[in-house]
């Protein structure tokens, strides 16, 4: 075989090997806020405990201000930032924008100068919900029966990707544990992400923190599990960060998570 041909074949082989090689990941730090209820002073009549509506303008201003403050603080910490909203208190009105699933929020700058709030709902996460034929929007990330797994929402920062899934509670009782079927769907989805080389996976749960151990026992490979409760708390158990956000607060909390290149957690704290 002529020398030139051998070099050509070697070059092609090297190119194919490079294309098939696993992606080289980089360290990344991100801040995450998980808002589950607006403060009572934003109610239309905050003096009445039975008031069932938020004042829209004040609520929109609160959302926009808190998002900008949290984004600036994250930038000061050399961190990316993302916020999620999920209405979980059944006896209170739904915050604007209103979704009972988990909603990813991004800067209105990405939506153009006509954005009303400066903060907008970007995507709905409902990983254990099958919407069937109604799941037609590109901004809905739910269970996909055609793939037998959930579509994943991704935060792209500096050529790195953080995958987000949600566990939606479909009952009203606080004592209801996550159904085995929902956990199986998410476990399969996380397994698929791992086989694709994703090494940063976050699950946002609408269930009480008392079920965190059950969830992590059934869903292997989670890097972060986020829930909401009466007090904030962070712990790392079996290489998974378990973070609980306070339900209601005037100011948003931000959870800072630092991943190394292998996806291991170096920091997980408020």
Residues 265, 236 contacting (CB under 8 angstroms): yes
Lowest mean pLDDT among 21-30, 132-141, 159-168, 239-248: 132-141
Report the alpha-carbon distance of residue 24 to residue 67 in Å, rounded: 32
| Domain 24-269 class, CATH top level | alpha beta
pLDDT, residue 84, reads 93
The band of 245, judged by pLDDT with boundaries at 50, 70 and 90, is very high
157 closest CA partner among 53, 80, 223: 80
- Measure Cα distances from 88 to 23, 52, 123, 168, 241 in Å: 38, 15, 18, 10, 22
- pTM, two decimal places: 0.84
Residues 96, 54 contacting (CB under 8 angstroms): yes
Report the alpha-carbon distance of residue 54 to residue 40 in Å, rounded: 8
Q: Which two tokens stand for residue 220?
A: 């292997």
pLDDT, residue 4, reads 43
Rg (alpha carbons) of the chain, rounded to whole number: 21
Distance of CA 216 to the CA centre of its chain: 16
- Over range 61-87, report the average pLDDT: 92
Q: According to the per-residue pLDDT averaged within each range, which of 21-25, 63-67, 252-256 is highest? A: 252-256
Residue 9 has pLDDT above 60, yes or no: no
pLDDT in tens, 130-173: 887 555 566 889 998 888 899 999 998 878 899 999 999 988 77
The band of 17, judged by pLDDT with boundaries at 50, 70 and 90, is very low
- Measure Cα distances from 248 to 86, 92, 95, 112, 229 in Å: 12, 11, 12, 30, 9
- Over range 176-201, report the average pLDDT: 95
pLDDT in tens, 105-140: 876 544 333 344 445 557 889 999 988 755 556 688
What's the mean pLDDT when you consider all of the chain?
Answer: 83
65 closest CA partner among 53, 54, 57: 57
Higher-confidence residue: 269 or 176? 269
Report the alpha-carbon distance of residue 209 to residue 171 in Å, rounded: 16
Q: Which two tokens stand for residue 47?
A: 């003096």
Residues 154, 163 contacting (CB under 8 angstroms): yes
Q: Which two tokens stand for residue 196?
A: 């694709």
């Amino acid at each position: 075989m002529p020398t030139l041909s051998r070099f050509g074949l070697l070059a092609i082989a090297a190119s194919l090997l490079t294309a098939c090689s696993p992606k080289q990941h980089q360290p990344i730090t991100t801040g995450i806020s998980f808002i589950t209820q607006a403060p009572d002073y934003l109610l239309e009549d905050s003096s009445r405990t039975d008031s069932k509506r938020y004042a829209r303008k004040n609520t929109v201003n609160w959302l926009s201000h808190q998002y900008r403050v949290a984004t600036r603080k994250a930038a000061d910490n050399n961190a990316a930032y993302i916020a999620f909203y999920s209405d979980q208190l059944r006896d209170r009105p739904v915050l604007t924008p209103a979704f009972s699933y988990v909603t990813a929020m991004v800067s209105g700058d990405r939506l153009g100068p006509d954005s009303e709030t400066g903060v907008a709902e970007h995507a709905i996460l409902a990983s254990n919900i099958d919407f069937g034929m109604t799941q037609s929007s590109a901004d809905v990330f739910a269970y996909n029966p055609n793939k037998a797994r959930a579509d994943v929402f991704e935060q792209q920062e500096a050529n790195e990707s953080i995958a987000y899934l949600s566990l939606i509670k479909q009952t009203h009782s606080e004592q209801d544990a996550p159904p085995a079927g929902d956990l199986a769907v998410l476990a399969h989805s996380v397994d698929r992400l791992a086989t694709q080389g994703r090494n940063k996976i976050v699950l946002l749960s609408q269930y009480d923190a008392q079920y965190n151990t059950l969830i992590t026992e059934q869903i292997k490979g989670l890097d972060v599990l986020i829930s909401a409760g009466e007090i904030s708390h962070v712990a790392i158990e079996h290489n998974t960060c378990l973070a609980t956000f306070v339900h209601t607060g005037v100011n948003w909390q931000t959870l800072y998570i630092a991943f190394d290149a292998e996806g291991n957690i170096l920091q997980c704290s408020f």
